[in-house]
Structure 1
Amino acid sequence: MDSSFLNFVVVVMLVAFSLPVPSSSIHSSLSAGSSLDVQNKDDVLMSSNEVFSAGFHSVGVNAYCFAIWFTDQSLSDQNHVVVWMANRDYLVNKKGSKLSLLKNGNLVLIDAGQWHPPVWETVTNSNTSVVTLSLEDNGNLVLYTSEGERVWQSFDSPTDTLLPHQPLTRGMMLISTRSSTNYSSGFYKFRFDEYNILRLSLSNLEVSSVYWPSAWKHPAEANRTMYNSSKIAVLDGYGYFSSTDNFKFTTSDFGSRIWRRLVLEPDGNIRVYSLDEKTKVWEVTWQAISRPCHVHGICGLNSLCTYSQNSGRKCKCLPGHTMKVQTDWSYGCEPDFKPLDDDGRTYGFLPFSQSDFYGYDSGFFINFTFDRCKDECLSNQDCKGFLFRANGSAGQNLCYTKSRLLNGQQKFGVHSYTYVKLPTNIIEIYEKMINPLEGNSGLNCSGQDIMQLGRDYKKNSQNDSVKYMLWFVCALGGFEVILVAYFFSVNMGTYEKNQVYHQVATSFKRFTYDELKKATNNFSQEIGRGGSSIVYKGVVLDNRVAAIKRFKEENFRGEAEFLAEISIIERLNHINLIETWGYCVKRKQRILVSEYLDNGSLADKLSSNALDWEKIYNIAVGTAKGLAYLHEECLEWVLHCDVKPHNILLDSNYEPKVADFGLSKLLQRDVTGNSRFSRIRGTRGYMAPEWISNQSITSKVDVYSYGIVVLEMISGRNPATNVYDDTDGSCRPEQKMLVKWIRDKMQAANGTGKDFAIRDIVDSRMNGVYDMPRMEALVQVALQCVEDQESARPTMSQVVDMLVGNTQIVHNKGLMQINEELVEE
C-alpha cells in the first residue's frame, strides 16, 4: 500500500478522535407524547446550528422557567442570555415539573406533577395530524404538523427580546423584566399604539404614560407617520431596523451578519446588543434613549433623577421623604411626615432650581404671579408642589401645580424652579443646607458592569470508531461546503449585493463614479479646496444641488476603513450638522456627497463683512449644539479634530452646520484619554495645546478650537497671525497672539471697565452696533474654552447651557427694565 495513503489515513484518524461528540441527551425535536424534565439539566432542545437551546432555566431557589437562550453564552451557574420565556410570571418547581407535548397537539407546562390546570399552554389542537416541536436556527420555537403547517410559534408571543427577522406586529408587545435578576413582567412596554406609532410607555398599578417619542410632540416632529395601519417592525440580519411608522435606525456595526438581539431593559430603554465573535461578549450597538433620566418612573414618586457620565444615573429622595423599598427605586419615596393642618397654614415650599417633574399637572395658569401660584397650591390639599417659569412662553409667567411629583429630573439649562410642598419645620432644616438633596439616600441606578466569564464545555467521549469516522466525514464535508460557498460569494460579488441592499434599506446612496462625473460636469465647478480634498458643486439625478467632496489620491484610505466611517456618518442627524446623502468608492477614488448650502462657509463671511452681532451669536450657539451632539449624544464618541471657520457652513438663514466631521477619529465614551491618533490633526491657529505637548486627546480639543473660532468672529482677527497692540502708549506696538491679546484686555479691565475692553475687542466693522451683555458673555465663554489646561475647559453641552441661559437672562433683564419704566410713569 502506498505510504502516502497510509499517512493520510493516520492523520484522518487522529483528527477524527480529537473531534467532540455531542451528548445523546440533547434533542433536535420533541415528538407528540414526549416531555422535557426539569430535573435533567441536559434535557434540552437545540437548534441544528447549535446557536439556540430551549429548556428549563433556573431563576431562583427552586424556581424555574421554560426558556430559549443562546447556547454559546450559557454560564456555569446556569445563567443564560435568555431571549424568550413561557412562564416568566408563574414559576415551576425543580421536582416533578415537565414540558409535555400531548398527543392532541397541545404543548403544556406542568408544575410539580399537577396537570390541571397547567401553568402554561399553547392551546393548540391537531387531532388529525402528528405534531412536532422544533427549535429553528433563528431561535423560533415552532409546533409543526406532519404537513409542515405551523400551528404555534414563540415569535408570535415575545417577552422582552426581539431576534433578527422576528417581527413586532399589531397586538404584540415587548415587556421589560422587573430587574436584571427578576424575570417577571416589569413596568415598561414597547408596542404600536392606537395611532400606529411605535412607542415606549410606563404602565404600573398607579400610573401610565408615554415617554418615547415625546408625548408632547406631534409624531411628524419625530419623523413618524400615522398613516400606515399595517403595524410591522423588524430588525434584520445586517443591523437595520425599520417600522411602518417610518422609524428607522442602523446599529453601529451595520452590514455584518452577526448575532444581535433587541431588548427592552428593566431601566425602560431599548438597546440592541451584538455578539463579538472573538471575545463572546455582548456589546451595545444602539440605544433609543441617550439620557436615562428621560425614562418615566425610573426613580418613582417623590424623587429626583440625576445623571453624569462619570457616576451614571442616580435617584435621590426629596427632602422629608425616605425610600419606600430599599432594593427597588421604582416604588419611589414616601413622606416621613403626616399632615399637620388641613388648611395649609403649616406648610411652605422648598425650591429646586433647574428641575422638572413631567406630567400630573392639576392646574395650568398663565400670567400668575409667583405669590398667586403659591397660594393656589397651598389652598389645594392634593397639591404636592408647583413649577414656576418666569417669562416662559411669549414673555408670560407659567404656573403648573402638581398632583404627583413623578418623573423628576435635573435639567441643566432649564430656567424654572420646582417648589416642593413641605411642613415648615422640615423646610427650616433643609433651608440651612447648600444642597437639600445632599445626604439623602441614593442608590446608583447606572446598571451592572458586564463581565466576561470563562466557560469550558465538556462533552462525553465515546469509543465507537464508526461514529468518530462518521462525524469526521460530516465535518470535512461541511468544511468543503463552506469553502465553496466562500469562493463563490467572492467571485459573484457578494459585497456589491450587500451594498445594494444597504442602499435600499437606508436611503443612503452609493453613487457611481460616472454619476458624479456627470453631476459635476466632469468635476469642473470647484467651490472649495483643502489639504486632503477638493469640493465641487453638482446636481445629482433627483435635481438636488450637492456639494461633492473628492479626496485626493495621495490621501488614499483603505476601502474597509472608508466604508466603516461612512456607516457612522449616515447615522448622524442634527440640525447643526451637514447632511450627507451618499458616497462613491471606485479603485482609489473616495467621494462624499452632501447638501449644498447657499451662503458658503463662515470663513467666507468673515472676510466679506456680512455678519452682524446677532448672526455671530446665533452661529456660536448653533455650532456649539452641533459639536455637543457629536461629543455626547451619538452612540460613538465623534471628535471633529479640525473645528475652524472653513468647516462651519451657513444656510440661507445663516443657520450654522458643522461639516467635515465624518472622517474624524471615533472613540469610546468611557475612555478618558486616547493616544490612538497616528498624527497631529487640525489647522494652525485653532489647535489645542494637547496636540503639541503629546498629551491625551479628548473632546476638549474641539472645545479649544471652538473658542478660537468664536474669538475670531468677535474680533475679526485671524488667530494664526499676530495682533499689534499700541494702546499702552509706547512708541513701539506690542506683538501678541489673539488669545493673549483678548485675555490681557479683559484682565486689564478688572471688572470696572469691561465695556471699554469689549469695545476694543469687537470688530470695528460692526460700528459699535451690538448687544453688550451678550457680547460680553460670548467673550467670557470663549476664553473659558481656550484655557491651556483641558480640565479647565467646559464641555460643549455646558457651553450651550451658558449661551442659551445667557439669552434668557438678557431677555429677563430687558423685561425688568420695561417694568421699571412703566412703574416710573
Structure 2
Amino acid sequence: MEFLCVFSWVLSLLLIFSSSSSAEQYVLRDGSSLSVEKPTDVLLSPNGVFSAGFFRVGVRAFCFAVWITKSKDPTVVWMANRDEPVNGIGSKLSLQKNGNLILTDGVRRTQWETKTASSSSVELILLNDGNLVLVTANSEKEKLWQSFDSPTDTLLPEQVLTKDTFLTSSRSISNFSSGNYRLYFDNDNVLRLLYNVPDTTSVYWPNPAIMPWQSGRSTYNNSRLAVLNLLGNFAASDNFNCNSSDYGGKILRRLTLDPDGNLRIYSLVSESRTWVVSWQAISQPCTIHGICGDNSVCGYDHVRGRRCSCLPGYRARSTTNWIQGCEPEFEFSCNSSKFDFKSLPHVQPFGFDRDGFPSASLEACKERCLSMCSCRGFVFDYDMTNNNGYLCYPKIRLFNGFITPSFSGNLYLKLPKANMNSVKKISTESRLECSRDFAVQLNRTYEKARGAWSLNFLLWFAVSVAIFEMTCIFLVWCVLFRTEKDSDSEAAKQGYIQAATGFKKFTYAQLKKATGSFTEEIGRGGGGVVYRGVLPDNRIAAIKKLNEANQGEGEFLAEVGTIGRLNHMNLIEMWGYCAEGKHRLLIYEFMEHGSLADNLSSNSLNWEKRFDIAVGTARGLAYLHEECLEWILHCDIKPQNILLDSDYQPKVADFGLSKLLNRGGGDMNGSSFSRIRGTRGYMAPEWVYNLPLNSKVDVYSYGIVVLEMVTGKSPIGIHSLDGGMATEHGRLVPWVREKVNGGATRESWIAELMDPLMANEYNVDKVECLVRVALKCVEDDKDSRPTMSQVVEMLLQNEGKLSKIHSML
C-alpha cells in the first residue's frame, strides 16, 4: 500500500513537470524542440487558421505536418515525413543552433531534415497563409527554407507549383503516405496528371488521345508555373485556366490531388466548417487510370456513381479493394485452336497495344491475336481519320478499361472456347467504394531511449523508499519479467519479417504436406533446393528450402527483405515464408515453363520470344537499379535465375545474393561486398580485380545472357577459335566480337552467330540490335556500359531504324 502511495506521488510530480513546459507557441527558436509526447507542442499561425506539429497517422506512428484547424476536422495540407512516420515516444522536431531543422524518431535517428545552415540565430514560424518558414532571427528575416517549396498533395492559395515540384496523392483518405497519382509539369511544359506505379506510368489528363493544343494547352512557355489565387482562380503557364464555382469571394480554399486521382478545389463553408468541391479537373471519373485494376472495366451513371466490374471470364482478386483488379478463371496457353473471342460493345481499355495495324478485317485481327501468346484481346474500331476501313489494336494487358457509349468500337475478349457459353456478362452491381480505407495502419515501435536525469532520479527515489518492504515482490516481478522477455524474443524475431512485408507465414508442417514431404524437385542452387507444392488454397507454388548451414538464415533475410520492396511484372512474386526453428523456406509463384536455361536448348523459344525475354529482363533490372524504393544489385544474373511464365514472359528471380543500397545512404559507386558473388562466366571484371562495384555488374551479366540467347552457346563452354573447347571465363565475348568485326556483311556474321535452333527464322534488324547492345553491356570499362534503362530504350527502338541506337552506342 505504501509503495502504491509513493508511486502515485511520483506520477503526480511527473505530470506537473511535463505540463509546466507545455504551452502554445508561435515561434520555435534555435536550440528548442517540439516533442511528439506533448500534444500542446504545436506552432500556431497568428490568425489561428493553421497549426504545425506531430499528427497521428497510425498506431504509435506520427508525421510532422501542417493542418487547417478552422475546419471541422483537422485538414492536413503538408507533411515532412509522410512515407517515414516516427515513433510516438521520444520523437522530436529540433531546431539546431547551426540552423538545421531535424526530425528524429524514438531511437534518435534522423528521419527528415532541411539541411540548412546559418551563422546567425534562426527561428521557425508558421505564417498566416500556411507556409512553414525557417528564417534568420534578425531584421532581414532571410528565408532559409519553406514548406511551400516541397508540397505533398495540396496547394494553398498563392503557393506556386514549379517545374521542380509536384503534388502526389495520398494512398487513401486516412493513409497519408504517397499514393499512385501525380500532378506535375512534363518536359513539353504541359501541366499533367499521371498514374504512377512501379510497373506502369500513364498520363490521363489532359486527354492523352489528343494533342495538347487540342486541349487548349500551349507547349511554348517553359516557365512552368501554376498557382491558385485568393479569389479561386487556378492558372498555369501552359494556358490552362479555371475558376472555382464560388470565384470572387476571399474564403479559405485549397487545391488537392485526391487519392482517387482527381484534382479538386475545395472551399470551406464557414457556417458548418466543412469542405465543398468548387471545381474538379475530371468530370468523367472512369477516365482516371488505375482505379479498377487489371482485367476490369469502369462504368458510371449519375445514380450509382462510379463502379468497377470484372470482364467476362474473370473474377475479382479482392472483395474489398478493386485496385487489385481481376484474375482469369481459366489458364492461358499458346494453343490458338482452344480460344475464341467475345464481343463487348463500347468497352475501351486504354494503352498496352501490341503492333496495332490499320485497314484490317475482323478475321485478320482475330488471327493476329490468336497467333500471339501474350494477346488478351483486341479493340476493333472504325478509322475515322481516313474513312477507309478499321483499326485493329491487339492488347497484351487489359487495363484502364471503361464503358462509354461515345466509343463506337468493340473489345474482343480472348476466352477459351469451352468457357464461351458459360461466362457471365459484365456485372453492373459491384460498385467501387472510394471512401473505404484499405490501408494497413502503420505501427512504429522502438526500444525506448533512456529518459532525462530528473526523470530517472524521481523513479529511483520511489524505488528506494519502497525497496525494503517490497523486496520479495520485486524479486518475483523481476523473475517473471525476465521469463516473459525471453519467451517473447523469439516470437519478435520470427514476426519481424511478417510485420515488415505483409507476406503470409506458413508452418513447416503445412509446407511439408504441400510438397508431399519435399519429393518433387524442380530446381536447386547454392542457397537451397526448390520444390513444387500445392498450397492449402490450391495455388501451385515453388517452395525454396534454404540450406540449414549458418548462411541459410542470412540468405533468407536478404531475399525476404529484398523482395518485400519489389513490385514489377518482370520480377518474381513471393507469396509467403516459413521461419520455424532451423527451417527457412520461401514460397514463390510457380513458373510453368521453368527457367530460361531449361528452354535455351529446346525448340520452345522462337526468335520473338527470345527478344521479348531480353526486353522484359532489362525492364526488371532497370526497376531494381533505378525505380524501386532502394537501389538493388542482383549480383547473379544468369539464365537459371530468369524464369518464364505461361506466356514465356520473363521474371527475374533468386535475390539471395542481392545487395541493397539505401537511397539515402550515398553513392552506389562506393559499394563493397564481404565476398565475391555471382556465377562463373557471368561475372563482371570488377569482381575479379576487386574494383568498386555498382549496378554495372548486373549490366555486364545481362549482356552475357543476351549473347547466350542469340548464339545458343554457354559463356563457360564454347568452341574456341582454334576448334577446341574454351572453358575459361570470357571466351564468348571475344568470339562474338571477332564474328561481328570480321563479317563481310551483317547478314553473314549474323548467320554465323545465330543459334542453329532458329533455322534462319529471325529478324535481322533485331538480331543486330541485340548483339550490339549486348557487346556494349560487356565492355571491360564499367563506365562505358549503358544503364539498364538505356538498354530498354535501345531495344524498343524501331527494329528497322538503328541510327539512333548506333548513336547511343
- Scaled by the length of structure 2, the TM-score of the pair is 0.50
Partners of 2:749 and 2:655 in 1: CA distance = 35
Contact map agreement 2:718 2:725 (CA 8 A) in 1? no
Q: Which residue of 1 aligns with 2:667?
A: 671
SS in 1 for 2:523: strand
SS in 1 for 2:65: strand
Partners of 2:787 and 2:612 in 1: CA distance = 18
CA distance 1:64–1:300, change in 2 (3 Å): farther
SS in 1 for 2:647: coil
Partners of 2:639 and 2:459 in 1: CA distance = 72
Aligned partner (choices 40, 62, 65) of residue 83 of structure 1? 65
Deviations 1:633-665 (A, max 9, x none): 211111111111111111222111111025522
Aligned partner (choices 51, 57, 68) of residue 37 of structure 2? 51
Q: Which residue of 2 aligns with 1:757?
A: 749
One-letter code of the match for 1:487? R
Deviation at 1:678, TM superposition (A): 0.9
Q: Which residue of 1 aligns with 2:677?
A: 681
CA distance 1:70–1:570, change in 2 (3 Å): closer
Deviation at 1:566, TM superposition (A): 1.5
Unaligned runs of 5+ residues in structure 1 are 1-20, 72-79, 88-119, 123-153, 167-175, 190-200, 209-264, 273-284, 307-316, 336-357, 362-388, 401-456, 813-825
Deviation at 1:534, TM superposition (A): 1.3
Q: Which residue of 1 aligns with 2:700?
A: 704
Partners of 1:85 and 1:636 in 2: CA distance = 30
Deviation at 1:798, TM superposition (A): 1.1
Aligned partner (choices 595, 610, 627) of residue 616 of structure 1? 610
CA distance 1:481–1:673, change in 2 (3 Å): farther
Deviation at 1:629, TM superposition (A): 1.5
One-letter code of the match for 2:514? A
SS in 2 for 1:805: coil
Deviation at 1:526, TM superposition (A): 1.5
One-letter code of the match for 1:725? L
Contact map agreement 2:717 2:726 (CA 8 A) in 1? no
Partners of 2:65 and 2:224 in 1: CA distance = 32
Q: Which residue of 1 aligns with 2:715?
A: 719
Matched residue count: 497
Aligned partner (choices 629, 634, 640) of residue 640 of structure 1? 634
Deviations 1:550-604 (A, max 9, x none): 1222353447x74464143233222211221111223332211112222111111
Contact map agreement 1:178 1:187 (CA 8 A) in 2? no
One-letter code of the match for 1:539? V
One-letter code of the match for 2:668? T
Partners of 2:593 and 2:34 in 1: CA distance = 62
Partners of 1:521 and 1:325 in 2: CA distance = 62
SS in 1 for 2:706: helix
Would you say 1:599 and 2:581 are equivalent positions?
no
Q: Which residue of 1 aligns with 2:101?
A: none
CA distance 1:601–1:499, change in 2 (3 Å): same
Deviation at 1:614, TM superposition (A): 1.1
CA distance 1:186–1:529, change in 2 (3 Å): closer
CA distance 1:38–1:708, change in 2 (3 Å): closer
Q: Which residue of 1 aligns with 2:8?
A: none
Aligned partner (choices 741, 755, 761) of residue 735 of structure 2? 741
Partners of 2:758 and 2:646 in 1: CA distance = 21
SS in 2 for 1:571: coil
Aligned partner (choices 53, 66, 69) of residue 68 of structure 1? 53
SS in 2 for 1:782: helix
Deviations 1:786-823 (A, max 9, x none): 1111111111111111112234859x9xxxxxxxxxxx
Aligned partner (choices 789, 792, 799) of residue 800 of structure 1? 792
Contact map agreement 2:545 2:584 (CA 8 A) in 1? yes
Contact map agreement 2:558 2:657 (CA 8 A) in 1? no
Would you say 1:296 and 2:258 are equivalent positions?
no
Deviations 1:336-368 (A, max 9, x none): xxxxxxxxxxxxxxxxxxxxxx9999xxxxxxx
Deviations 1:670-692 (A, max 9, x none): 42324431111111110000000
CA distance 1:671–1:796, change in 2 (3 Å): same
Unaligned runs of 5+ residues in structure 2 are 1-12, 57-61, 89-128, 134-144, 195-217, 240-262, 264-279, 283-350, 360-382, 386-449, 805-809
SS in 2 for 1:779: helix
Partners of 1:737 and 1:121 in 2: CA distance = 71
SS in 1 for 2:717: coil
Contact map agreement 1:786 1:793 (CA 8 A) in 2? yes
One-letter code of the match for 1:297? Y
Q: Which residue of 1 aligns with 2:543?
A: 548
CA distance 1:549–1:459, change in 2 (3 Å): closer
Q: Which residue of 1 aligns with 2:312?
A: none
Deviations 1:102-143 (A, max 9, x none): xxxxxxxxxxxxxxxxxx597xxxxxxxxxxxxxxxxxxxxx
Structure-to-structure mapping, 1:182-581, within 5 angstroms: 182=146, 189=153, 267-269=166-168, 287-288=178-179, 295-298=182-185, 302=189, 322=223, 333=237, 394-395=356-357, 469=461, 487=482, 489-493=484-488, 496=491, 508-554=503-549, 556-558=551-553, 562-563=556-557, 565-581=559-575
Contact map agreement 2:657 2:677 (CA 8 A) in 1? no
Structure-to-structure mapping, 1:2-21, within 5 angstroms: none
CA distance 1:737–1:552, change in 2 (3 Å): same
CA distance 1:471–1:40, change in 2 (3 Å): farther
Deviation at 1:695, TM superposition (A): 0.8
Partners of 1:492 and 1:599 in 2: CA distance = 44
Deviations 1:258-315 (A, max 9, x none): xxxxxxx97423699xxxxxxxxxxxx98546xxxx8323579946999xxxxxxxxx
CA distance 1:629–1:484, change in 2 (3 Å): farther
Aligned partner (choices 771, 780, 786) of residue 778 of structure 2? 786
Deviations 1:369-393 (A, max 9, x none): xxxxxxxxxxxxxxxxxxxx9x998
Q: Which residue of 2 aligns with 1:235?
A: none
Partners of 2:678 and 2:725 in 1: CA distance = 33
One-letter code of the match for 1:579? E
Contact map agreement 2:596 2:639 (CA 8 A) in 1? yes
Q: Which residue of 2 aligns with 1:224?
A: none
SS in 1 for 2:668: coil
SS in 2 for 1:765: helix
Partners of 2:579 and 2:719 in 1: CA distance = 45
Q: Alpha carbon RMSD of aligned pairs, Å?
A: 5.8
Q: Which residue of 2 aligns with 1:74?
A: none
One-letter code of the match for 2:504? K
Contact map agreement 2:574 2:589 (CA 8 A) in 1? yes
Q: Which residue of 1 aligns with 2:242?
A: none
Q: Which residue of 2 aligns with 1:257?
A: none
CA distance 1:460–1:709, change in 2 (3 Å): closer
SS in 1 for 2:669: coil
Deviations 1:220-261 (A, max 9, x none): xxxxxxxxxxxxxxxxxxxxxxxxxxxxxxxxxxxxxxxxxx
SS in 2 for 1:585: strand
SS in 2 for 1:798: helix
One-letter code of the match for 1:777? C
One-letter code of the match for 2:53? I
Partners of 1:720 and 1:475 in 2: CA distance = 74
Deviations 1:167-209 (A, max 9, x none): xxxxxxxxx97687555799864xxxxxxxxxxx88989999x
Would you say 1:657 and 2:643 are equivalent positions?
no
One-letter code of the match for 1:68? G
One-letter code of the match for 1:571? R
CA distance 1:460–1:708, change in 2 (3 Å): closer
Deviation at 1:67, TM superposition (A): 3.7
Deviation at 1:724, TM superposition (A): 3.0
CA distance 1:491–1:763, change in 2 (3 Å): same
CA distance 1:396–1:63, change in 2 (3 Å): farther
Q: Report the identity percentage.
A: 40
CA distance 1:25–1:582, change in 2 (3 Å): closer
